[in-house]
Amino acid sequence: MAKIYEDLSLIIKRSRLTFIILVIVIFLVMAFYWKIQIFDYKKYLKMSEANYLRSLPSPAPRGLIYDRQKIILADNRPSFKVSMLKQSLKNSYQTIERVSGLLNLRPDELKARTERYSWLQSFEPVVIKDNLKLDEVAVIEGRKEEFPELRLQVEPRRYYPFGQTAAHVLGYLQEVSAEEIKGSSQRKWRGGEMVGKAALEKQYDDYLTGQDGQLIETVDSLGRSMGEVNRIEPVKGKDLILSIDLDLQKRAEELLQGKEGAIVVLDPGTGECLVWASSPSYDPNRFISRFSPDEWMSIMNDPAGPLENRVIRGLYSPGSIFKIVTALTALQTGLISERTAFFCSGSINLYGKDFTCWFKPGHGNLDLAEAIKNSCNIYFYQLGRSLNIDIIANYARSLGLGKITGVDMPGEKEGLVPSTDWKRKSQGEAWYPGETISVAIGQGPVLVTPLQIAAMTACLANRGIKVKPRLTLVDNQTELKREKADLRPEIFEKVIEGMWRSVNDGGTGHGAYQPGFDICGKTGSTQVISREQAEKMVQRGKEALKTHSWFSGFAPRYQPQIVVTILVEFGGLGGQTAAPMAGEIFKAYREKYVRQTNLQGN
Output the CATH code of domain 53-241: 3.90.1310.10
Q: Which range is least confidently modeled, 148-157, 378-387, 547-556?
A: 148-157
Residue 462 pLDDT: 96
- CATH of the structural domain 252-270+309-601, one choice from 3.10.20.740, 3.40.30.10, 3.40.309.10, 3.40.710.10: 3.40.710.10
- How far, in Å, CA of 406 to CA of 413, rounded? 10
- Average pLDDT rounded to a whole number, residues 429-457: 94
pLDDT in tens, 465-499: 999 999 998 765 556 677 898 999 999 999 999 99
Bridge partners, residue 348, by sequence = 355
Residue 6 pLDDT: 59
Instruction: Find the catalytic residue in 320, 398, 525, 552.
Output: 320
Q: Which residue did the predictor score with more confidence, 190 or 390?
A: 390
Residue 138 pLDDT: 84
- pLDDT for residue 359 is more than 80: yes
- How far, in Å, CA of 83 to CA of 559, rounded? 58
DSSP conformation letters of 63-75 = PPEE-TT--EEEE
- pLDDT for residue 160 is more than 50: yes
Q: Left if phi > 0, otherwise alpha if psi is -120 to 50, otherwise beta: which for 473? A: beta
Residue 340 pLDDT: 95
- How far, in Å, CA of 78 to CA of 366, rounded? 66
CA nearest neighbour of 421 among 393, 383, 396, 384: 393
- pLDDT for residue 321 is more than 60: yes
CA angle 7, 11, 14 (to 5 degrees): 150
Peptide bond into 556 cis (omega under 30): yes
- Beta-sheet strand order (sheet of 520-527): 273-279, 261-266, 562-568, 547-555, 520-527
Instruction: Please name the residues in contact with 189: beta carbons below 8 A apart, sequence gap of 6 or more.
Output: 176, 180, 181, 195
The CA dihedral of 342, 343, 344, 345, to the nearest 10 degrees, is -160
Catalytic residue flag (residue 320): yes
- Average pLDDT rounded to a whole number, residues 414-438: 93
Residue 185 pLDDT: 55
- pLDDT for residue 178 is more than 90: no
CB-based burial of residue 558 (10 Å sphere; 0-12 exposed, 13-18 middle, 19+ buried)? Answer: exposed
Computed over its alpha carbons, how large is the radius of gyration of the chain? 35
Q: Which residue did the predictor score with more confidence, 260 or 22?
A: 260
CB-based burial of residue 298 (10 Å sphere; 0-12 exposed, 13-18 middle, 19+ buried)? Answer: exposed
- pLDDT for residue 134 is more than 70: yes
The pLDDT-based confidence of 93 (bands split at 50, 70, 90) is low
The pLDDT-based confidence of 319 (bands split at 50, 70, 90) is very high
CA nearest neighbour of 460 among 324, 589, 551, 304: 324
Q: Is residue 514 within 8 Å of residue 583, measured between CB atoms?
A: yes
- pLDDT for residue 146 is more than 60: yes
Its sign, for the CA torsion 483, 485, 486, 490, is negative
The pLDDT-based confidence of 7 (bands split at 50, 70, 90) is low
Residue 175 pLDDT: 77
Residue 312 pLDDT: 97
What is the CB-side half-sphere exposure of residue 488 using CA atoms within 13 A?
13
Q: Which range is least confidently modeled, 5-19, 271-285, 511-525, 536-550?
A: 536-550
- Average pLDDT rounded to a whole number, residues 166-171: 96
- pLDDT for residue 246 is more than 90: yes
Amino acid 63 reads: G
Q: Which range is least confidently modeled, 147-156, 262-271, 379-388?
A: 147-156
Amino acid 506 reads: G
Report how far apart, in Å, the C-alpha atoms of 513 and of each of 162, 249, 300, 587 are: 31, 20, 39, 9
CB atoms under 10 Å from CB of 28, counted, come to 10
Residue 79 pLDDT: 83
- Average pLDDT rounded to a whole number, residues 71-100: 76
The pLDDT-based confidence of 531 (bands split at 50, 70, 90) is very low
Residue spans of alpha helices (H) in 387-432: 389-398, 420-427
- pLDDT for residue 533 is more than 70: no
- pLDDT for residue 530 is more than 50: no
Averaging pLDDT over each range in 65-74, 225-234, 345-354, which range is the top one?
65-74
Backbone torsions φ then ψ of 62, nearest 5 degrees: -80, 150
- pLDDT for residue 298 is more than 70: yes
CB atoms under 10 Å from CB of 343, counted, come to 13
Residue 51 pLDDT: 52
Bridge partners, residue 525, by sequence = 549
CA angle 56, 58, 64 (to 5 degrees): 160
Residue 225 pLDDT: 63
- How far, in Å, CA of 549 to CA of 569, rounded? 6
- pLDDT for residue 415 is more than 50: yes
Angle between helices 107-116 and 92-103 (to 10 degrees): 120
Residue 88 pLDDT: 57
Beta strands at 194-196 and 213-219: parallel, antiparallel or unpaired? unpaired
- pLDDT for residue 554 is more than 70: yes
DSSP conformation letters of 255-266 = HHTTS-EEEEEE
Backbone torsions φ then ψ of 428, nearest 5 degrees: 65, 30
- pLDDT for residue 238 is more than 80: yes
Q: Which range is least confidently modeled, 208-222, 265-279, 345-359, 369-383?
A: 208-222
Residue spans of alpha helices (H) in 243-322: 246-256, 293-300, 310-313
Q: Is residue 85 within 8 Å of residue 261, measured between CB atoms?
A: no
- pLDDT for residue 441 is more than 90: yes
**Mean pLDDT taken over the chain:** 84
- Average pLDDT rounded to a whole number, residues 69-77: 95
- pLDDT for residue 240 is more than 70: yes
Peptide bond into 125 cis (omega under 30): no
- Average pLDDT rounded to a whole number, residues 183-206: 79
Any idea where the domains of the chain sit in the sequence? 53-241, 252-270+309-601
Q: Which range is least confidently modeled, 35-39, 432-436, 578-582?
A: 35-39
Q: Which range is least confidently modeled, 109-113, 327-331, 452-456, 527-531?
A: 527-531
CB atoms under 10 Å from CB of 10, counted, come to 9
